[in-house]
Structure 1
Amino acid sequence: MSIIDISEVNPGSHVTLHYRLSLADGTELVNTFSERPATLMLGAGQLAPPLEDILLGLKVGHHSTFQLAQGVAFGQRNPDLIQRVSLATLRENGMVGDDFNPGDLVEFNAPDGGRFAGVLKEVNETSALFDFNHPLAGQAVAFEVKIIGIL
C-alpha cells in the first residue's frame, strides 16, 4: 500500500486554487483571483492536461506564473480540423432553423455518443465551414496559479 502525500498536488487530487489564464499579449481569458477560488479534480478534464501537469508536485501556498509556448497548452492548430459540413447533415442533427452566425460555437453529436464543438466560419447555400480546433490551439499562454488547498 502506497501513501499519497496530500501536501502536494498528485494525480486525482482535489485542488483549490486561484488561477489566471491569459494570452501571450496579456489578453485575460480566465481569472479567479478576483472571485471565489476554483476547486478542480486532476484527471477529470476540467483543465487541459498540460495545465494539470504543471500543477503536479506543487504545494499549498505555491504561487507562480508559467509561460507555455505556442501550441503547448491546447495543441497545435490542425488544418485537417477545418471542415465543411453539408446543410443536410445539419438538418439531420436538428440544427436547421437555428440562427447561426460566423464565430458561433456549435455542438455536434459524436458517433460514440459524446459531443464535440466547432466554430462556424461561413455558411453558403449548401454547406457550412467549421473549425474543430480548440479555440486556443496554437496559442502561447501564461498560466498563473496559487495553490490554496489540496485534498
Structure 2
Amino acid sequence: MQISQNSVVCIHYTLTDDAGEVIDSSSGGEPLAYLHGAGNIIPGLENALAGKQVGDKLKVHIDPAQGYGERNPELIQDVPRRAFQGVDNIAVGMTFHAQSSQGPMQVTVTRVAGDMVTVDGNHALAGVALNFDVEVTDVRAASEEELSHGHVHGPGGHHH
C-alpha cells in the first residue's frame, strides 16, 4: 500500500540540522505513527512521504518554510515580571502558555533582566533547515474513528 491521504503511516527517523547535529530520533524506540494528510507532521516531510511504501528509505532536506517556519521577530517580547503571577523564580529556558491575538501559544523565557522578562513564541526549530533520514515501517488505511479524530490511535483504540 502506498502512502496517500488518510493512510496511517509508521516511520523510523533521525532528524539532524545542517551541521549534522542530531535533533531527534526514533532509534531504539517505537516508530512515529501519523495520519497522512491531517497535518500531524511538518508539510515538507509529509509531502516527501506521499507515494512511498513499506521498506522505502529516503533522505529529505526541508527548508524552514516547509518545516516550522521562519523566525518571526514579532513573537519575541519583553514583558514585566509581574505578568508571571505565582512564579517566584523565573529562569531562562522555562516555558509558559500565553494568550495572544491568534489564541493560546507556548513561549520560552530567553532573558531575565531585573523586572523585565524576554519571551519567545517561535518554535524552537523555526528558521532551521531540517534533514530527515526516514524508513517507512508500516502503512495502513485509517479507521473511521482515526479519521473523525484527525490522528492515529494505538492498539486497542485511543484513550482520550
The interval holding the TM-score normalised by the smaller chain is 0.7 to 0.9
Q: Does 1:132 align with 2:121?
A: yes
Where does the alignment leave 5 or more consecutive residues of structure 2 unmatched? 141-160
For 1:108 and 1:22, the matched residues in 2 are separated by 29
For 2:107 and 2:38, the matched residues in 1 are separated by 22
Q: Is the Cα contact below 8 Å between 1:75 and 1:137 reproduced in 2?
A: yes
- Name the Cα RMSD after superposition: 2.2
Summarize the alignment of residues 1-151 of structure 1 with structure 2, pairs less than 5 Å apart.
Answer: 7-91=1-85, 96-109=86-99, 115-151=104-140
User: What is the CA-CA distance between 1:108 and the residue it aligns to?
Assistant: 2.5
In structure 2, the partner of 1:4 is none
Kindly provide the amino acid, as one letter, of the partner of residue 79 in structure 1.
P
Per the normalisation by structure 2, the TM-score is: 0.75
Deviations 1:119-142 (A, max 9, x none): 211123433111111111111110
User: What is the CA-CA distance between 1:76 and the residue it aligns to?
Assistant: 0.8
In structure 1, the partner of 2:144 is none
For 1:45 and 1:110, the matched residues in 2 are separated by 22
Deviations 1:66-105 (A, max 9, x none): 11235541111111111122333322xxxx3253311223
For 2:117 and 2:58, the matched residues in 1 are separated by 43
Where does the alignment leave 5 or more consecutive residues of structure 1 unmatched? 1-6
Kindly provide the amino acid, as one letter, of the partner of residue 70 in structure 2.
Q
Identity of aligned residues (%): 27
SS at match of 1:50: helix
Q: How many residues align?
A: 140
